[in-house]
Amino acid sequence: MELNQREKAWILAAILILTPLLFFRFAFLPLDAYRQKQRVDIRRIEEKIRQMDALGQELKHLERTRSSQSTSLSKDIDRILRQQQLKLRSRTLVDNDPDGRQRLVLKLEEVNLTELIQLLYNIENALPVIAIESININPAYQNKKRLRISSALSSW
């Protein structure tokens, strides 16, 4: 089958028109969609990097304040003990946890039950928050109505 000149011209025109359209449809559009997806992924990753930088700065700040935390904790506990006039019967020791956190060990001698309740109330309602990690209450040696207290305290 032979094509005449007019049919050849139509086929050539169709090829010249359809080739760029097919290239645009099957090569350029998928490539453009892929690039847009990459841009969205890059923006998402950059946002995560910014968040990590902010969290890193916050972590550095918390690490700097952690070292001063034990001194402020002991100051807070001393203030509470002075308010209740228990400072002379107390001893405080700074202890390090295996986790690296510092905590304060408070030891009290010859405390009655009312003083103990007031002390626990003031510690629990102190600002900044003071957590009582553990408490050991025993009767005193000389007077069974008095108590010996040993407790571990930490600050948030």
CB 153 within 8 A of CB 102: no
What is the total count of domains within the chain? 1
13 domain-assigned = no
**Tokens 């003990």 found at:** 81
pLDDT in tens, 138-152: 998 888 889 999 999
Q: How is residue 87 written in tokens?
A: 């400072």
pLDDT in tens, 20-30: 898 898 989 99
pLDDT above 60: residue 18: yes
- Domain of residue 81, CATH code: 3.30.70.60
State how far the Cα of 54 lies from the Cα of 83, in Å rounded to an integer. Answer: 40
With cut-offs at 50, 70 and 90, classify the pLDDT of residue 53. very high
The reply to whether 78 falls in a domain is: yes
Whether 94 maps to a domain, the answer reads yes
Give residue 122's domain range.
68-155
User: pLDDT category, 98, cuts 50, 70, 90?
Assistant: low
Over residues 105-143, the pLDDT tens digits come to 999 999 999 999 999 999 988 887 888 989 999 998 888
Does residue 128 belong to any structural domain of this protein?
yes
